Amino acid sequence: MTETILKVDDLKVWFDVKKPGAMPWTRPRKLKAVDGVSFELNAGETLGIVGESGCGKSTLARAVMQMVPIEAGSVVWLGDDLTGLDTRRMRPHRKEMQMIFQDPLASLNPRMTIGQIVAEPLKTHFPGLSAAKVKARVQDVLDTVGILPNLVNRYPHEFSGGQCQRIGIARALIVDPQLIICDEPVSALDVSIQAQVINLLMDLQKETGVALIFIAHDLSVVKHISDRVMVLYLGNVMEIAPAAELYDRPLHPYTEALISAVPIPDPVLERQKQVMLLDLDLPSPLDPPSGCVFRTRCPIAEPGCAQVKPVLADKGREHLVACHLR
């Protein structure tokens, strides 16, 4: 039986936002960036998370890592509840959970060589390691990600975007984590470099058994790398299912719209496909619609959708959908 290493239950991340120019005593409004998200992740599994910009993907990732305050809910990692842990008590778990960020160059300290950057987590979590062992480990992990070890004394600005992302992956891998959260790791890269980074992550997962949470806008990339896919909209889970099942049988109208926008490499099929266009812009998370948050853009919405918020319902084959009409 596959071990569940991460369990997120009814997670909520709300931020206080004051209107510009408001008086100091004015009560701030609540921005519900993540509003009741639940999911589980198994060892060695890849969970893809997709959705429009502003739907809460990155905030969810940071909440799992305890990098932002949590309003309610829980994050259980390997049986330990991480919710509300301070920096000191969270530190032992940091080496088990690592993160790769969107901008490969901005995530690396420009004043440090790549050897120092990659070695830093080792020195933080394993201070007793000798300099020789740290150096050997750095060279080994750089070689694993395709960076020549003789480049350890160069600085980030001397590398391309794809190479910087490989360095970021090396930094995450060096402490042998059980989970790596990839926050849009290829969105700033050229298409050919994207493929190299994705294939590298998949190869590393096969070798090490590390679990991945992969956040992206590109649904074709998410389909390629993910075992399961979760669709977010305004901080809410619309649908979650195995990748093949979700793409072959999308049930939520929002998922259908996202998948219909994925380009097809066959020009004939691309011209024949029907793209589902959504009306209006994404509503503000400061003032989300009542009931189903997607109803203002949903092509099949009915009056009752404004009354009750839908819950995730099991449609078989591990396919969960939050929709009153599907």
Residue-by-residue DSSP string for 169-234 = HHHHHTT--SEEEEESTTTTS-HHHHHHHHHHHHHHHHHH--EEEEE-S-HHHHHHH-SEEEEEET
pLDDT, tens digit, for every residue of 31-79? 999 999 999 999 999 999 999 888 999 999 999 999 999 999 999 999 9
Residue 296 lies in a domain: yes
What is the structure's pLDDT at 133? 93
Residue 157 lies in a domain: no
How far apart CA 219 and CA 215 sit, in angstroms, is 10
Write out the H or E segment, with its range, that includes residue 259: helix 253-260
State how far the alpha carbon of 321 is from the alpha carbons of 46, 231, 317, in Å: 19, 10, 12
For residues 133 and 186, the answer to whether their CB atoms sit within 8 Å is no
Residue 109 lies in a domain: no
Predicted TM-score (pTM) of this structure: 0.90
Residue 129 lies in a domain: no
Domain that holds residue 235: 4-18+26-96+177-321
The alpha carbon dihedral of 149, 155, 158, 161 has a sign of positive
Say which residues have a Cβ less than 8 Å from residue 158's Cβ, sequence separation at least 6: none
What is the structure's pLDDT at 285? 85
Other C-beta atoms closer than 10 Å to the C-beta of 197 total 24
What is the structure's pLDDT at 85? 86
- Identify the CATH number of the domain in which residue 313 sits: 3.40.50.300
Residue 147 lies in a domain: no
Task: Collect the ranges in the chain with pLDDT lower than 70.
Answer: 1, 269-270
Alpha-carbon Rg for the chain in angstroms: 21
In the block, tokens 């929002």 appear at 254
Residue 136 lies in a domain: no
What is the structure's pLDDT at 25? 77
Residue 229 lies in a domain: yes
What is the structure's pLDDT at 1? 54
Residue percentage of the chain with pLDDT more than 70: 99
pLDDT, tens digit, for every residue of 276-290? 777 778 888 888 899
In the block, tokens 């070695």 appear at 119
Other C-beta atoms closer than 10 Å to the C-beta of 117 total 23
What is the structure's pLDDT at 40? 95
Q: Both tokens of residue 227?
A: 């075992």
State how far the alpha carbon of 16 is from the alpha carbons of 26, 71, 85, 234, 257, in Å: 11, 11, 21, 16, 31
Count of the separate structural domains present in the chain: 1
